[in-house]
Amino acid sequence: MIDPGRFVDHLGTLGVSLYTGVPDSLLKEFGRYVMATVPRDRHLIAANEGGAVAIALGHHLRTGEVPLVYLQNSGFGNLINPLLSLADPDVYGVPMVVLVGWRGQPGVADEPQHVKQGRVMGALLEGLDIPWAVLPDSPVDADACMATAVRVAGARSSPYVVLVEKGTFAEARLDDPELVPPSDGSSPGGDPRPRDEPLPSREQALITTVAAIGEGRVIVSTTGMLSRELFEHRERSSSDGSADFLTVGGMGHASSIAFGIALTERDREVWCLDGDGALLMHLGGLAVIADRAPTNLLHVVFNNGVHDSVGGQPTSIRAVDVPGVARALGYRHAERTSDLAELPDRIDAMRERGGPSLLEIRVRPGNRPGIGRPTRTPAESKQAFMEAIQ
């Protein structure tokens, strides 16, 4: 296994000074080390993977350096346009190393939404004419691999992709007194909320919200822990979850899925249960929703300020007035709360005002240990959902 500190130090000797991307569970220990040691102006968690490529491109234009972009391969589709239409040698020719967590690698058990992406990953890179390698788990060989990646990226004026297998990185050692703190003296990670603000857990808020929504409504839940908590709540309470669509992949698209349903489902409310990272990833979708303004679309954002499912890395939600943005983009009604006792009245207010309406619920980061995963396949869930809402 590779020590993340050694890995990042070696990248520094190769001239890599900018890190940007979207967090991934396979890169969690690498990400923890970068967050703890790299100044905030040199480590930028992007709203989406394509945005990370653009940030890296801008950095190269000013410095001439080879930056590093990191992500999970499930988000690789968001990179393809800027990689081919901006960074490719046939366009601007911008070198960068793209470090990709290889979910769904053939022969390695994984969740169904990762299997196809993992299986076609090599062929996809070949078809895109992007040079690539798999990161060895030997430290010496990993050093050589990254040196080649930086050299080839620079020589070809091209992106170079390095795939990272499960278990490649060892646990980050962050108790070393010689670790360099961020230059501005602030912590790049952690909970962005005021520490004296008492917040409920996301699971508590979810259960209270679902109870206030009631039976007979359509629910579309976002990628990650929230959908897992919703599924487990339904199983534990023996309540009917067949009209719940659990968005297990496609981070950031739950609100648009709910919108597509709401446009033709006029007899029932359609609720989108979203997360802050997912909301930021494709924020422009709110303007499209507001333009058509389906009165039965009601949007709840559980905001814990972090990418909880992949390690708790912070989002940029601290800089956002979520209800204010929703109103500015055309939502009829938007407000926030962190008080679970207020939720029934807030839910009623959304119904009275009509959609599209948004409620931001501020919750604390983290989740209960041992949260299970849906036991139905995505295809089974799709069929049950379609039958339930006919």
Terminal-residue alpha carbon distance, the chain? 51
Contact 203, 368 (CB under 8 A): yes
Distance between alpha carbon 267 and the CA centroid of its chain, in Å? 32
What residues pair up with 2 in beta bridges, in sequence order?
169
User: Is 118 among the domain residues?
Assistant: yes
Q: Of 44-53, 189-198, 232-241, 328-337, which range is least confident?
A: 189-198
Are 44 and 130 part of one and the same domain?
Answer: yes
Are 158 and 254 part of one and the same domain?
Answer: no
Are 267 and 118 part of one and the same domain?
Answer: no
User: Is 175 among the domain residues?
Assistant: no
User: What are the tokens at 166?
Assistant: 């499960």
**Residue that finishes a domain, picked among 164, 190, 216:** 164
User: Is 179 among the domain residues?
Assistant: no
Q: What pTM was estimated for this model as a whole?
A: 0.86
Residue 136 belongs to domain with CATH number: 3.40.50.970
Distance between alpha carbon 333 and the CA centroid of its chain, in Å? 26
Are 242 and 325 part of one and the same domain?
Answer: yes
Res 195 pLDDT > 60: no
**Tens digit of each residue's pLDDT (9 = 90 or more) over 235-289:** 888 887 889 999 988 899 999 999 999 999 888 999 999 999 999 999 999 999 9
Question: Once rounded to an integer, what is the mean pLDDT over residues 208-221?
Answer: 94
**Containing domain of residue 33, as a range?**
4-164
User: Is 180 among the domain residues?
Assistant: no
**Tens digit of each residue's pLDDT (9 = 90 or more) over 68-126:** 999 999 999 999 999 999 999 999 999 999 999 999 999 998 888 899 999 999 999 99
Are 151 and 241 part of one and the same domain?
Answer: no
Contact 248, 111 (CB under 8 A): yes
If one counts the domains in the chain, the total is 2
